[in-house]
Amino acid sequence: KNCLILALDVTDRENALRIANEVSEYVDSIKVGYPLVLGEGLGIVKELAELAPVIADFKVADIPNTDRLICEQVFKAGADAVITHGFTGRDSLDSCVKVAEEYGRDVYVVTEMSHPGGVEFFRPVAETIAQMAADAGATGVVAPATRPERVRDIRKIIGNDLHIISPGVGAQGGSAADVINAGADWVIVGRSIYNSDSPADAAMKICNDMKC
């Protein structure tokens, strides 16, 4: 285990595959979201899945039936996991978890976002969402590397059964080592890797820094 997830927010296939290939030995999975899928189509998921498990970051946030339809498409496309929001409520999350169980895949739930505005609306509900993720049988939660103390709070709520994946390292100011020490299982890193002259070196440095 490397404790590192690549956030592959480039928008073209050629760069995506080049960077994914370069860093594949350092990352445990690749997070793909709207930028790349809107740029290149959902087919990119299958191509990347040959290099590493893909986490589909669609921040699913809809009624249960629409969530179900989205998750089915995501898993059929070859994604290993999906990221959903939690603020849409337990029934919506249950719907995603049910589809994930049918396909044998994972669900991660956003608790509090890593950017400065992430405290405005998430702060009062982050703990409730974390508890709901645990109750619903989600695989884990997404919690901010920019606020390791919040990762510590959320770890207390979810215990050790759920994973914490944590974005906000590097470009957003967070430290990989600090958030791993605070209880995260993986850091999610995008720009510090894919904008580097040597993505492999950048990924290796983050792994060394975490000593995980």
Binding residues for ligand BMP, rule: CB under 6 A, are 7, 9, 33, 57, 110, 113-114, 118, 142, 144, 167-168, 170-172, 188-192
Tokens describing residue 68: 């179900």
33 exposure class (CB count in 10 Å sphere: 0-12, 13-18, 19+):
middle
Q: What is the C-alpha to C-alpha distance for residues 203 and 60, in angstroms, rounded to an integer? A: 28
Cβ proximity to ligand BMP: between 7 and 136 the closer is 7
- To the nearest whole angstrom, how small is the minimum distance from the Cβ of residue 61 to ligand BMP? 12
Cβ proximity to ligand BMP: between 65 and 84 the closer is 84
205 exposure class (CB count in 10 Å sphere: 0-12, 13-18, 19+):
middle
Cβ proximity to ligand BMP: between 65 and 198 the closer is 198
- To the nearest whole angstrom, how small is the minimum distance from the Cβ of residue 166 to ligand BMP? 9
Annotated catalytic residue, options 59, 76, 156, 211: 59
Q: What is the C-alpha to C-alpha distance for residues 77 and 42, in angstroms, rounded to an integer? A: 7
Please identify the residue of the shown chain whose CB is closest to the bound ligand BMP.
190
Q: What is the C-alpha to C-alpha distance for residues 28 and 40, in angstroms, rounded to an integer? A: 23
| φ and ψ at residue 189, rounded to 5 degrees | -130, 130
Cβ proximity to ligand BMP: between 170 and 199 the closer is 170
Cβ proximity of 47 and 79 under 8 Å: no
Cβ proximity to ligand BMP: between 7 and 130 the closer is 7
Tokens describing residue 195: 């904008």
161 exposure class (CB count in 10 Å sphere: 0-12, 13-18, 19+):
exposed
Respond yes or no: is residue 205 known to be catalytic.
no
Residues taking part in catalysis? 59
